[in-house]
Amino acid sequence: MIFENLPTAPRSEELLDKAFSRAARAGNAKGGLEAQQSMLTVAVNITSDNLENVVTAWPDFEYIDPFYYELADAIVDVDALRQSLSEVTWASRQIEELGREYQSKLRKTEPDTARKHRKQAFARIADIMDEIKDDLRAVGDARDELKTLPDIKPDEPAIVIAGYPNVGKSSFVNHVTRASNEIAEYPFTTRGVQIGHVDRDRVRYQLIDTPGLLDRPEDERNDIERQAAGAIEHLADTILFFVDASGDCGYPLDVQLALRDELADRFGDREIPVLTICNKSDRSTDVEADAYMSVTEEDGVDDALELGVEAVGHEPDLPSRDA
């Protein structure tokens, strides 16, 4: 996942303490004018290089997959994050320029005056770092938020499982993947997003259950949830919408179908099929559906999965004739 390995962004005070303490040790190892030059070099390199590393570790938001862009924007406000990263870049370059300016001064003066120039340089470095302290904190906070995103791969075909709570979505994902999957937590919902995988004809399919996003009408979601649901549009290749015709889930059938129709309208604009799966068919089949199944009875489950796989229409990569 593109945000998983982002390094921790240092706080301004921490980075200054590190730079100045190492500069002091470098100065103690030398004497006279050379000591002042060495101290300045160390302080400039540590601050400038660390700031540059903070920025270059981040992906270029102009080129990341739209799914991850929308998801990141739902959590941290990408425009604000990019502005903070730009400010950190500015600071890194300013400190580099300051280092060149003061090294030139140090080469043309006596040790006592050089010491004054070096102290001036340190004060200006501290001023620059103070100017971006809020930006560094914002970058660090964004990193902490985004690193928790689940490992969803936009380049792999995705079958999104939707429907009201208690209609059997998670049970279906667990059943067809033959394991109780790990739960990946989105920061914008109190419940976990469940991700399972199945292989068909050498193609790996992601099965994604999205509680808190696609299990209630859009007007009942908060702003972050609505934007995150929008990110799913960039990811989904097909939607399996689960209904419980018996109503045992706690939601009337007409309410469930209204949510299905809302999703069909939304995803239909991107020509993403929305298929109706009637779960708990051992209790009721009183609904027109694309497939009927019962997870608890292990009846029709694989057929429902195959329907989703076929709807994706993903052709497997075949070996070259020249291979």
Q: What's the chain's average pLDDT?
A: 88
289 vs 184, more confident? 289
Predicted local confidence at residue 316, as pLDDT: 40
Domain count, the chain: 2
Interatomic CA distance for residues 271 and 233, integer angstroms: 10
> Is 153 within a domain?
no
Looking at the fold, whether 164 and 290 belong to one and the same domain comes out as yes
Range of the structural domain that residue 195 is part of: 158-312
pLDDT digit string (tens) for 188-229? 665 667 788 898 888 999 998 877 778 888 888 877 777 778
Q: Residue 185 above 60 pLDDT? A: no
Secondary structure in 3-state letters for the chain:
CCCCCCCCCCCHHHHHHHHHHHHHHHHHCCCHHHHHHHHHHHHHHHHHHHHHHHHHCCCCCCCCCHHHHHHHHHHHCHHHHHHHHHHHHHHHHHHHHHHHHHHHHHCCCCHHHHHHHHHHHHHHHHHHHHHCHHHHHHHHHHHHHHCCCCCCCCCCCEEEEECCCCCCHHHHHHHHCCCCCCEEECCCCCCEEEEEEEEECCEEEEEEECCCCCCCCHHHCCHHHHHHHHHHHCCCCEEEEEEECCCCCCCCHHHHHHHHHHHHHHHHCCCCCEEEEEECCCCCCCCCCCEECECCCCECHHHHHHHHHHHHCCCCCCCCCCC
Q: Output the domain CATH number for residue 57.
A: 1.20.120.1190
> Is 302 within a domain?
yes
Looking at the fold, whether 64 and 87 belong to one and the same domain comes out as yes
> Is 281 within a domain?
yes
Contact 196, 181 (CB under 8 A): yes
pLDDT digit string (tens) for 260-281? 999 999 887 778 999 999 999 9
Distances (CA, A) of 24 to 12, 31, 41, 223: 18, 12, 11, 50
pLDDT digit string (tens) for 291-308? 999 999 999 999 999 999
Please identify, among 146, 176, 199, the residue that sits at the C-terminal boundary of a domain. Answer: 146
pTM: 0.78
Looking at the fold, whether 94 and 57 belong to one and the same domain comes out as yes
pLDDT digit string (tens) for 150-179? 778 888 899 999 999 889 988 898 889 875
In the sheet that holds 291-292, the strands lie side by side as: 183-185, 192-200, 203-209, 158-162, 238-244, 274-279, 291-292
